[in-house]
């Protein structure tokens, strides 16, 4: 479920399913993309000057909602390209500054959505990373490109192979996010800075956003990397390990992988 509220020309788009740690199914992603596009259309009129993406409750987003997914029939390309990539592009192309306020679990898809925002403020004790090693799947949502760009190849593969998580403080210290903030100060900290940006020079900010993106795209581009990830994930869907990873998660047990 996605909710929105506007204060001081800042729209807060809220992942509002705390009972499932704001994990996202395909329908949630469609709803999120619609909310972002509607907000973008209100920028030129002056109604909206900045966007904050946040999660309700004790998590930002625990990733994909796979509780009812049958891996044997999973349309992973549809979910990743039609859902996740669509939302990430809408965030990255938003015509005003975007901020993510990240608390609690920020995993998989949630991590990709946060990193698609211009600025990420993270709670000191947030839990960040990729649990895919336990699912027989590969990191997606642009994670390979974004992690390698910011953390380097060795730290990226370390996190992928071990499925270990970083705290918010660790993630900032290693260069993944902008700043860490005490958990109980995160939302107000983000709101103040988003409101300041909303009253700032939007055209100049947009020029800077475009220039930064041009610099990044001179390397291997995010979207090309995401496309490769999407198809790697689709190939993994056909494996026994992928099905075992899903089953073990749904059954709340440790997976037993066979390499098949």
Residue 89, burial from CB neighbour count under 10 angstroms (0-12, 13-18, 19+): middle
**Mean pLDDT of each 10-residue bin along the chain, 260 residues long:** 95 97 95 97 92 97 87 85 94 95 95 95 94 79 87 92 93 94 97 93 80 71 75 79 80 78
Full-model pTM: 0.84
Note the pLDDT of residue 228: 74
Q: Where are the beta strands (DSSP E) in 56-193?
A: 98-102, 105-107, 119-123, 127-129, 165-167, 179-181
pLDDT digits (tens, 9 = 90+) for 82-91: 999 999 999 9
Share of the chain above pLDDT 70, in %: 98
Measure the CA–CA gap between 62 and 43, rounded to whole angstroms.
30
Measure the CA–CA gap between 25 and 140, rounded to whole angstroms.
15
């Amino acid at each position: 479920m996605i909710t929105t509220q506007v204060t001081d020309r800042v729209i807060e788009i809220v992942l509002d399913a705390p009972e499932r740690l704001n994990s996202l199914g395909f329908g949630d992603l469609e709803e999120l993309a619609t909310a972002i596009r509607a907000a973008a259309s209100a920028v030129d009129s002056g109604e909206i000057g900045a966007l904050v993406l946040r999660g309700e409750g004790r998590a930002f987003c625990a990733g994909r909602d796979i509780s009812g997914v049958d891996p044997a029939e999973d349309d992973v390309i549809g979910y990743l390209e039609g859902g996740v990539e669509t939302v990430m592009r809408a965030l990255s192309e938003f015509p005003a500054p975007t901020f993510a306020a990240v608390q609690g679990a920020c995993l998989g898809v949630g991590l990709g959505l946060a990193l698609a925002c211009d600025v990420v403020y993270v709670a000191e004790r947030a839990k960040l990373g990729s649990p895919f090693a336990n699912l027989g799947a590969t990191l997606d949502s642009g994670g390979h490109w974004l992690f390698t760009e910011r953390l380097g190849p060795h730290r990226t593969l370390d996190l992928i192979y071990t499925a270990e998580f970083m705290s918010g403080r660790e993630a900032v210290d290693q260069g993944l996010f902008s700043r860490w903030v005490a958990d109980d100060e995160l939302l107000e900290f983000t709101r103040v800075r988003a409101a300041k940006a909303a009253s700032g020079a939007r055209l100049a900010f947009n020029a800077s956003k475009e220039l930064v993106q041009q610099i990044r795209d001179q390397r291997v581009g995010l979207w090309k990397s995401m496309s490769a990830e999407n198809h790697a994930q689709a190939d993994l869907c056909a494996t026994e390990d992928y099905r075992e990873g899903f089953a073990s998660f749904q059954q709340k047990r440790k997976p037993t992988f066979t390499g098949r």
